[in-house]
Amino acid sequence: MNALTPHHQIAVIGAGAMGSGIAQVALNAGHRVVLYDAAPAALERGIASIDSAYRRLLEKGKIDAAAHADRMGRLQQAASLADLAGAALVIEAIVENLDIKATLLREVEALVGDDAIIATNTSSLSVTAIAARLRRPAQVAGLHFFNPAPVLPLVEIVSGKATLPAVADTLFAAALAWGKTPVRCASTPGFIVNRVARPFYGEALRLLNERAADVATLDAILRDCGGFRMGAFELMDMIGHDVNYAVTASVYDAMSQDPRYKPSLLQKELVDAGWLGRKSGKGFYDYGPDAVRPAPRSAAPAPAPREVIVEGDLGVASPLARLARNAGITVHQADSETGRLRIDGVTLALTDGRTATQRLAVGDGVAVVFDLALDYVAAGTVAIAVADGAPAGALDTATGFFQALGKQVVVIDDVAGLVVMRTVAMLANEAADVVQQGVTNAIDTDLAMVKGVNYPRGPLAWADAVTPAFVQRVLANLAATYGEDRYRSAPLLLRRALTQQPFHAVQEAAQ
């Protein structure tokens, strides 16, 4: 089969939120769709859910009555798996259990044509392992949608060891025709998104465990300083801790318990308690009818400085000098091998993965470190940490400076790498490993993270902005601080740091 056309029938197994969403995507593209679920009640709910979604579009004027009738007319309820026999593409979206999926798909394989493609929507299981249980593994691939499927654009096209290139090509073309953004990858634990995203949750959980700040404050830093759509804790609450923890545990086990992916005991306690997030009414946040959303902790007002000395090159934090001038602060430039700010005898610097206390103790002179921001001009919040033993008034000096620039200042405990910097460094490191190992390329890695989980910037593009050398330095300092293999630098990141080559320029030149 070279391409799917609207004349080809699509079968979807599993009528839950994901399965019914995938069915809706195929209906939108003009296909006849057969929807099956082993539970008749679930099938009825799935059909009703699709109809309800179209009725909402009808009420908003996004489709007309004829389009609604046409789409629902092309949707068929399958009374049994035998009704899927005419499908050119079968997509399963059932429980995340390899044995259950493989058993079902073996039965499906015996019903459909030899050239039919069998796709699994698994988010973390091995496509290779699933396909190996079937008679025609070459016709099996991963077709991983993100929930809600009709809304989120990304689809991961996952090739197992035996998947024919033509099968992956057909699925890629189909996803494009369905208005999606497809990316190709090899079958590896977590594929692209669920693997690269692990540090977003893992580092937040570790920061909470270290009592760097409370949940609401850490989320605010990731949102308002890092530019992420949601903080890690509110996102985990939305996903569901049972689901999020299970994916982390699956990737951890599949990656031979590499410490990079180690699940958090804090999250396990929530799962054990039944505090699964929004769906249970309680997680890191309380979602009860009388619950009050906790506010992030911000610093008290402090006086603005009259002048600031910019020493050396501030790198990614260079916009701070322009913001200071715009705020009426006199800015002096001084030569230095290290970029930093000096205000009334207090030295501030962008975190390099060391604590402010470490830097002050080794004679670096830095008493206050501040966090990475996606865009220092647009950021509404800046996080800082003050060294133990810092000069008197250091906190007020740093706070007053950033407040003068129009920023809300959040003071956290003096933890290595702060919040955004260590998160971005770990995301970039994981993304570099994905590229190094041939799972996918740099462009598709960043595209997947932007389109799949709404990151404000791809991790490798962010590494390019900060510079791979600086990211690698942050990781090296984190590794030295914690003494853990968790923070080891990916070989490709280390190479880019040594050669001062960005990820995307190299990738584009190679194509």
Active site residues: 123, 144, 156, 194
Sequence-ordered alpha helix ranges (H) in 135-278: 165-177, 193-196, 198-209, 215-224, 232-239, 241-254, 265-273
Kind of pairing between the strands at 10-13 and 89-92: parallel
Contact 118, 144 (CB under 8 A): no
- H-state helical runs in 74-164: 98-109, 127-132
Distances (CA, A) of 283 to 222, 235, 246: 18, 11, 16
The two tokens of residue 150 are 């009709």
Q: Give SS3 for 193.
A: helix
Give the integer Cα–Cα distance in Å for 225 and 278: 25
From the CA atom positions of the chain, what is the Rg in Å?
25
Q: Which contacts (CB < 8 Å, 24+ apart) does range 198-201 have? A: 198/248, 198/251, 198/260, 198/261, 198/430, 199/260, 199/423, 199/426, 199/427, 199/429, 199/430, 200/228, 200/232, 200/235, 200/423, 200/427, 201/232, 201/235, 201/236, 201/244, 201/248, 201/264, 201/267
Quickly list DSSP for 196-228: HTHHHHHHHHHHHHTTSS-HHHHHHHHHHTT--
* Rounded-to-integer distance, Cα 91 and Cα 233, Å: 31
Query: What type of residue is 321?
Result: A
Question: Which among 326, 315, 431 is positioned nearest to 370, based on CA atoms?
Answer: 315
Return the closest-CA partner of residue 184 out of 170, 168, 173. Answer: 168
CA dist., res. 5 & res. 301, Å (int): 63
- Asked if 231 and 223 touch (Cβ cutoff 8 Å), the reply is yes
Omega into 301 within 30° of 0, i.e. cis? no
CA 209/CA 263 separation, integer angstroms: 12
Measure the CA–CA gap between 32 and 398, rounded to whole angstroms.
Answer: 62
160 CB-side CA count, 13 A = 25
CA 168 to chain centre: 24
Distance of CA 276 to the CA centre of its chain: 19
